[in-house]
Structure 1
């Protein structure tokens, strides 16, 4: 190393030491790492509606209202992401929740909210049937305007189009539950109307027209004229399926949205709050609650496996004796939470073998390829093949499971292979949350398999070919689960290079050129959520610690560690680091649904910079480990 490089490496080393100390402090005594899963307040608003529907005490709803009010924008509505514009669906939900808690429309905060909603097209502009059903169950949207899901879909053969196993795993429980309450179409009136949220078009303007109206009309005609014995059989089978897929913690899918929808679905067929299934489910919902400063916040999902796996990778890459015991405890936790039973994913999988990891504390029904890739890579960073029998066994199972989940075209989606082709990602997102294979998931899986010694196997070779075919002309790849081209491109590059693709490969060179072209003047990288819908924002946005680290990890993996752009990126991380070794990151950089639900993680803003700084020091032969 040159003198300048040595001096700079020493600076990075000091920053890394502080970050590693912060990482150690953030570990739970049980061994896992978990940041707070922070979305917009749509979950808090939906919880108020759910509590009204179920007739639960209002005190918790009042605490949720404080949370909702704390995030009202200057424009009067509510934004779906940091510094974003008012989001129409979210603003309507928040307005309704506040009305349910007792805020009158004459209140200044309500007047401001109503003005924002009207300025953005009024409540009649809403067009998300699965979400509008939440307004319908409290009498604020007519059921007649919502297309209904017939419970008979559960009677279709597993390989038939429209069967629940042909629907994305992330939405399967919601679809089955919705089919039950849509068959009954229950209403617990809110006790007020929302006429003040309409524009001059008035309530009739919300009526759908064209093909959508025909589809809605047909589903309602069938709902009024079902085939009796088929309907009874479908309702029974759907109910049994929901009860069978309840997780050990009482939830469905380990998350709030699925569990809440199932509670409404089971309520519609007679399962009341004193039933053991519902009692367990309500306890599962309560575990999603974070109470702080008199406010009630929801973690709609839990990123514990992702955070723990990436935390292990960060600890292994930092290579500090001080964090080795932390990493060992985290590995033990991961091994204990590997899915060892068959779930939904096995229905359409040939010769299924369990071995994946879920995203949440409890989701044995649907582990996912993304988190399994993270876990496999983490385990192998800390324990090379042949050095730990328990890790070897877990990795072998994970490898076989990942191979079984590869899509026909060679890529990976997070939840189950896409088994047919549809025209475009937007279509996939609107039909049951179907998910196509993506560059970020495929890159993460390749990195895990390569760490397990399979970088030259046929499964990996197919994955590499898929990535090559999917690269955009400008050198980037779009991601799916984070924003957006930065995440997809970083994951693709680290996945390819981990499998032996050199940094001089044309695909990798073009990707690095794209990354370098989007470095900010402050040395960092950032991509705004708006990039998901507006191409002008692709690769553009305020620099963030995690996104800067994604870019650095790709450049370092491609052989650019000892370069001025990498030093500038690392300098951004050093300068923006807090005194406690952590970073601040208010931006939402992760995606649940591309149509309006985004999140941030208070753990990943720390983990990714640790990985980037550690990767740099290893590449340039930095200061010796401590």
Structure 2
């Protein structure tokens, strides 16, 4: 590249960055936070219709709007996909079909005939292996309760030191487990008013063989379910109900999200809690806050990514700099400080000497903050206020640091919520559906980045985290992530975390990781990894280039000192070429993960935040090289 070409390339990068930073700042809420649209599959929209039927609510415009949304996203092959441009997904297609029938659509309508054909082609409803979700169909009489293993409410009576107690489940699933135990104890049925025989690939064989463990669990749980110990069962239902009511958030939700709140509503009503009870009235109002009505359709934001978006948006704003940065910075700092969790929650039960100080993902989830959002918030605050420059930030970061230390696993890694404590069979399957979570490279890398920003790069906790990453690096140089797709996210986070804690760019682990990243660059200069990589190894590191994933790769390469390389320049060029006139980027792909078995999401703000961070990091590296 000639001097004039280099000058024009730098100028083009600067123009792109300025345009993107302006677009980011324009999307900040006046109160200081950023929040993108949380977009996932239609499992929430279809689930809302099922929930309303179970609660005997009228089939009104709410249900009609949800049905319009569902029909609008039906694929040409008849079913519904769980991610952009993906194939029909069996469980989701079953739920969408049932929701349309509950909304008044007939089975002989062309759209529903096509949907039923797609479901049968995938093995039929009898091939659905997510028994937790099939329980929703059992509640409306479309699946026999006898086929579903029951969680007894007596689980809440187990001491916290006893294997299988509720505090050994992942934080994101704990409330759902307790809520499901309530409606599984009663096994109520509010008949749908129709059958779904047409969804069976083999109508005369209602069940496919399950594993021996599942069959045994189903048989034993129903045996006890038919003949529970009366006083023990009544005590368990009372305790589970009280526990759920006690853990309700101030906005009426549980866990700050739609799925957990919906399950708790069904559980409490199953054991006799009236719908006009103050707890349930607040819960229904809380569910309404997740609704987005747009163009006659009804969408459900199952989670709200406000802390993640605010922390990352704040970092991007500060990294971009410029005269407009300060006006956006201080409101965001105040918002983060005001939303730090300063009370003990579920996570504290099995944590020795617990100290509050984390941040949650959502507006309200005081029961269960997570290490990822805590790390992002801590790193963002330190980008603005180094240690000793602001007493309030110092205090918040000290609390966050102590909380993060309490959540580090025995092996040195971090999971998003709590250290993995499950030692019983079935751990891998429970992890896949979100009931458990093991330490991962992306979370561990993000925590290391926060520790480095806080001046704690050389602490024992940081050294243990680095050692965990070294032990768990794959032979090809990559790391799989957990919460985003997949090796690209894990590898980027590991590199940025390790380098933030002083590991040099020529360290063998960093070099192998960067070689893996550059080897998976696309021909257009960008990077992308398809959701299919979660289950099909041939897709690892492969997929259509996206702005956010390209930015992940660039952040890692720049952090490792490869800013002056041809792959980095090609990646920067990809971002500047694909940017829209308004400063944003288009990114329809789902690149983030809730559950590895079918629930994926995208955030309309991250496609803007990450490129701003990457372009800023590239510009800073070039400036440092010139100096």
State whether TM-score is above 0.5: yes
Deviations 1:578-618 (A, max 9, x none): 01000110000000000000000000000000000000000
**Structure 1 residue 128: deviation in Å?**
0.8
**Structure 1 residue 200: deviation in Å?**
2.7
Residue matched to 1:322? 324
Deviations 1:219-249 (A, max 9, x none): 0000011111111111111001000000000
- CA distance in structure 2 between the aligned counterparts of 1:148 and 1:65, rounded to whole angstroms: 31
How do residues 152-167 of structure 1 correspond to structure 2 at under 5 angstroms? 152-167=154-169
Give the 4+ runs in structure 1 shifted more than 2 A. Answer: 1-7, 200-211, 419-428
- Cα 1:434–1:467 change in 2 (3 A) is same
- Contact 2:164–2:424 at 8 Å: present in 1 too? no
Deviations 1:431-458 (A, max 9, x none): 8711000000000001011100000001
- Cα 1:574–1:423 change in 2 (3 A) is farther
Deviations 1:251-272 (A, max 9, x none): 0000000000000000011112
Q: Is the aligned partner of 1:573 residue 2:575?
A: yes
Deviations 1:185-211 (A, max 9, x none): 011000000001111353523464633
- Cα 1:422–1:274 change in 2 (3 A) is closer
How do residues 442-521 of structure 1 correspond to structure 2 at under 5 angstroms? 442-521=444-523
Q: Is the aligned partner of 1:367 residue 2:369?
A: yes
Report the 3-state secondary structure (helix = DSSP H, G, I; strand = E; otherwise coil) of the residue aligned with 2:600.
strand
**Structure 1 residue 375: deviation in Å?**
0.5
Deviations 1:455-507 (A, max 9, x none): 00011110000000000000000000000000000000000000000000000
Report the 3-state secondary structure (helix = DSSP H, G, I; strand = E; otherwise coil) of the residue aligned with 2:298.
strand
- CA distance in structure 1 between the aligned counterparts of 2:509 and 2:29, rounded to whole angstroms: 40
**Structure 1 residue 425: deviation in Å?**
7.2
Report the 3-state secondary structure (helix = DSSP H, G, I; strand = E; otherwise coil) of the residue aligned with 1:450.
helix
Q: TM-score, normalised by structure 1?
A: 0.98
Residue matched to 2:392? 390
**Structure 1 residue 426: deviation in Å?**
3.0
The one of 229, 250, 253 equivalent to 2:252 is: 250
- CA distance in structure 2 between the aligned counterparts of 1:425 and 1:165, rounded to whole angstroms: 14
Report the 3-state secondary structure (helix = DSSP H, G, I; strand = E; otherwise coil) of the residue aligned with 1:599.
strand
Residue matched to 2:19? 18
Q: How many residues align?
A: 624
Residue matched to 1:180? 182
Q: TM-score, normalised by structure 2?
A: 0.98
Report the 3-state secondary structure (helix = DSSP H, G, I; strand = E; otherwise coil) of the residue aligned with 2:292.
strand
- CA distance in structure 1 between the aligned counterparts of 2:273 and 2:118, rounded to whole angstroms: 39
**Structure 1 residue 4: deviation in Å?**
3.8
Which range moves more in the overlay, 613-622 or 273-282?
613-622
Deviations 1:1-59 (A, max 9, x none): 95543331111000000001100111111110000000011100000000011111322
- Contact 2:291–2:299 at 8 Å: present in 1 too? yes
- Cα 1:150–1:425 change in 2 (3 A) is closer
- Cα 1:622–1:409 change in 2 (3 A) is closer
- Cα 1:423–1:464 change in 2 (3 A) is farther
How do residues 101-112 of structure 1 correspond to structure 2 at under 5 angstroms? 101-112=103-114
Residue matched to 1:582? 584
- CA distance in structure 2 between the aligned counterparts of 1:186 and 1:351, rounded to whole angstroms: 42
- In structure 1, list runs of 5 or more residues that go unmatched: none
- Cα 1:217–1:421 change in 2 (3 A) is closer
- Cα 1:177–1:191 change in 2 (3 A) is same
Residue matched to 1:538? 540
Report the 3-state secondary structure (helix = DSSP H, G, I; strand = E; otherwise coil) of the residue aligned with 2:141.
coil
- CA distance in structure 2 between the aligned counterparts of 1:286 and 1:427, rounded to whole angstroms: 32
Residue matched to 1:437? 439
- Contact 1:377–1:451 at 8 Å: present in 2 too? yes
- In structure 2, list runs of 5 or more residues that go unmatched: none
Deviations 1:544-596 (A, max 9, x none): 00000000000000001111110100110011100100011000000000000
